[in-house]
Amino acid sequence: MVETMNTAELDAIAQKMVADGKGILAADESTGTIQKRFDAIGVENTEDNRRDYRELMFRTTPAMRDYISGVILFDETIRQKAKDGTPLVQLIEAAGAIPGIKVDAGAKPLPFCPGETITEGLDGLGGRLKDYYKLGARFAKWRAVIDIGAGIPSYTAIRANAHALARYAALCQENQIVPIVEPEVLMDGDHDIARCYDVTEWTLKTVFEELYYQRVRLEGMVLKPNMIVPGKKSASKVAVEEVAEKTVRVLKACVPSAVPGIAFLSGGQSDEEATAHLDAMVKQGGLPWKLTYSYGRALQAAPQKAWSGKAENVGAAQSAFTHRARMNSLAALGQWSAEQERKQAA
């Protein structure tokens, strides 16, 4: 049990999570979510297959060592052992990355707010964090979901989710775990980029207000926001430069410079879109915080397809994972280009 918060250790872990040229692998899909991923590649969703797939990534030495700072795990995965009996957490640590854990219980319908959700999981969280710390977790993740639609989001949804995020973050720091604070404004609707900007600004300002009220140490956390993009059903198309400019602008308006780093979610963008947008933001320069990636599907879609559940495809899957991790590492350094992407993929 951690009696007092070691702020120096928390800050150091947060800094390591956003180290230059490194990002966070989001491998925390629930059993239900990975079912959809496996269905797409014709793989049965068994515990062994989930372990084998994640093990192949954690054993991808070049990618894990050079481009991945931390890995967000699901409850099942943080307790699993590799085929040879080595705990998966130890594989991550051996590669020099930090094990992390998803701790929320998912988004549930928000009473009296049709079409909106509240993320649950605060009950008993302090005790679970102590257990996860013993299992090796040094950071955690909690995702709040903000949808854009007719008449939404409401003040109620934004305030309730921001409050829950802040309470989660405070509990994490009390238990010597760095919180990833993830307020995701979804890109599922038909809204334009200006609407995404306005809702993201509202959300982020509310989140940081609640973090202040809950006395969360900003130096010992990492923000995981969406980028400013139009909805997937929107007729409007925007250039990479506009996404980068608007995203950086809203972050400068809302995120205190004490936050060590911002690790973006990909949020349904294609692999290359997520990489290109990150690169364009970093190239703007003069930012008070590090910018990097905390991608799930945008890092994993290619290796999943290459693997397809076959042992003989492990090498190809690891190569695909290394490629995507390297491209995102270059983007986090502001050194990526579409030409380099094609050359490296060839």
Q: What are phi and psi of 16, to 5 degrees?
A: -65, -30
Burial 100-117 (b: 16+ CB within 10 A, else e): bbbbbeebeebeebeebb
Label the pairing between strands 117-119 and 98-102. unpaired
Catalytic residues: 182, 224
DSSP codes joined into one string, 222-240: EE-PPP----TT-S----H
Contacts of residue 345, Cβ cutoff 8 Å, sequence gap at least 6: 323
> CA angle, corner 67, sides to 304 and 76, nearest 5?
50
Neighbours of 208 (CB within 10 A): 21
What is the amino acid identity at position 238?
Answer: V
Measured in whole angstroms, the distance separating CA 264 from the mean position of its chain's CA atoms is 6
Please give the C-alpha separations between residue 302 and each of 127, 270, 321, 330, 345, in angstroms, as whole numbers: 37, 11, 7, 18, 11
